[in-house]
Structure 1
């Protein structure tokens, strides 16, 4: 492939209200892989929408440290800062939304 450094190998989209998160795996010319995390926010402007995007590049040598820090941070919020919040309610809402979207056909 001519422009291999821009080839998307894998992509996962997570919709979250006005935000959408993209987890994209891309390859370098040397067959190395990296992850691009993108937050896309939809903003109403005039009669249409604009999209503001923020990107973060994550390289393989940082995967474990990133996941560990993310999990520690989430656990801290859940157990120390918001111990009375039932976070399973958000999972149930997401499952219901996924089931609804599964029945829709996108053109």
Structure 2
């Protein structure tokens, strides 16, 4: 299945490997109010957005019945792990986390 990332400036990276995901996530160091996050989206409609503050947002653009979820104080390595799970399509593992609604 396909996936892609948006970097902090809104540029698209198609099917990044783990090293590219790290570089895109490093771009959060230059985040500002206009460009606050990086995200990974899967063709299933699921996406994860990471903010420099440690906030991680989860949503499904294909299913309005799924509420936006958030986790606070998520470390860089955990974000990378979750991005990897989403890239592989393992949304079930992502859903086991204690998402706040």
> Quick one: higher RCO (CA 8 Å, sep 6+), 1 or 2?
2
What TM-score results when the alignment is normalised by the length of structure 2?
Answer: 0.34
What TM-score results when the alignment is normalised by the length of structure 1?
Answer: 0.33
- Structure 1 or 2: more helix by fraction: 1
- Structure 1 or 2: more strand by fraction: 1
Structure 1 or 2, whichever has the larger Rg, is 1
